[in-house]
Amino acid sequence: MIRFLIFSVLALSGGACFGQTAVIDASGREIRPPAKVERVYAAGPPASLLVFAIAPDKLVGWTRAMRDNEAPFFPDRYARLPELGRLTGRGNTANVEVVLNAKAELIVDVGSTGATLASLASQVQEQTRIPYGLFDGRIESTPGTLRALGRLMGNEREAEGLAAWYENELKEARRRVAGVKEHPLVYYGRSASGLQTGGKGSINVEVLEVLGARNAAAGARPGLVTVSFEQVILWDPEIILTTDPNYWKSVWTDARWRAVKAVAAKRVYLSPHLPFGWFDFPPGANRLLGLWWTGKLLYPQAFRDVDLRAKTAEFHRLFYHREPTAAQLDALLGEPGVLPH
């Protein structure tokens, strides 16, 4: 009878006595990791960044191997982690076999949390028997996502430190725009043509929405959209932001773009993009730097005393585990198009 009661208690506790902590992910699914998690597979780039920030030794590999110009921003042993591909999103290249070969004990994804992705997570979890958590990738949700990942990974202290710092940074950025009365009309020109952009609610233009700027493409459908050049002319944005160096260069030589107010006023800016983009690419925690960069461009008075070099150094130290050198900071902020001249 006593033996039966012991087994009953174990069953009812769901293994809690072995140190497992259940976490409800952003899709409402209960995720119960092993008692000790040492190897984590990140299903996409935003998840890779957060797992690495919390516990770099637990990330089993990058979605895409570090390129030569990206690797110097990370400690060498982490920059050399293998390329495993992505399970979700555009251009997914990994599969269940890759996950199993990586000997992962936990799978996490950060970004959209809709029904399709939740179904995929459940399917992969059933096939691999590896817990798979899905978490919100929005800027405002990042502190909560960090805390949830910390609980799953067994790194609550590290995650809490990052989450609290991130919250304070967001609070400060919001404080600076709270009293702003005039918000510029901004167009985000994505891709080499500059004609891909993000409609209202798109995670790719979330920096604009957090700062209260007016997105020229707000009337387009949610998500990424391709628009015509004529449509951009009609919108006539005051400022253009891009993540593509090729587009930034071509906009000054392509006669068609001269009719756009932002081009005529020389207010087209290129987001820093190493080792990850500041405004987008990927749409992850890295966009915190994009808030400070974009804020200084759109609201120079409200952000006039923000030291971008100091902000960049601190973020890199906390999230990439290596503070950039003075030369690296010079290159990031001195690239043509990054800041007004």
**Residues of each domain in the chain carrying CATH 3.40.50.1980:** 13-173, 179-334
Question: 185-189 and 239-242 as β-strands: parallel, antiparallel, unpaired?
Answer: parallel
CATH topology assigned to domain 179-334: Rossmann fold (3.40.50)
Backbone angles phi, psi at 49, to 5 degrees: -60, -45
Residue with tokens 């007016």, as numbered in its chain:
214
Which residues are 19's β-sheet partners? Answer: none
pTM for this predicted structure: 0.92
- Tokens representing 197? 């952009």
Instruction: Please state, in angstroms and rounded to a whole number, the distance separating the CA atoms of residues 32 and 35.
Output: 9
- Tokens representing 114? 């809709």
> DSSP assignment, residue 316?
I
Could you write out the DSSP letters of every residue in 257-314? GGGSHHHHTT-EEE---SSS-SSSSS-STTHHHHHHHHHHHH-TTTTTT--HHHHHHH
Residue partners of 327: CB distance under 8 A and separation at least 6: none
Residue partners of 76: CB distance under 8 A and separation at least 6: none
pLDDT of residue 93: 67
80-118 residue pLDDT tens? 999 999 887 666 667 889 999 999 999 999 999 999 999
Instruction: Please state, in angstroms and rounded to a whole number, the distance separating the CA atoms of residues 66 and 305.
Output: 33
pLDDT of residue 21: 74
Instruction: Please state, in angstroms and rounded to a whole number, the distance separating the CA atoms of residues 28 and 122.
Output: 11
CATH architecture entry for 13-173: 3-Layer(aba) Sandwich (3.40)
Instruction: Please state, in angstroms and rounded to a whole number, the distance separating the CA atoms of residues 10 and 26.
Output: 27
Q: What is the mean pLDDT of each run of 10 residues along the chain (341 residues)?
A: 36 40 93 96 96 98 96 98 86 81 97 92 95 97 98 98 98 96 97 96 96 97 94 98 97 95 98 97 96 98 98 98 98 97 80
pLDDT of residue 262: 98
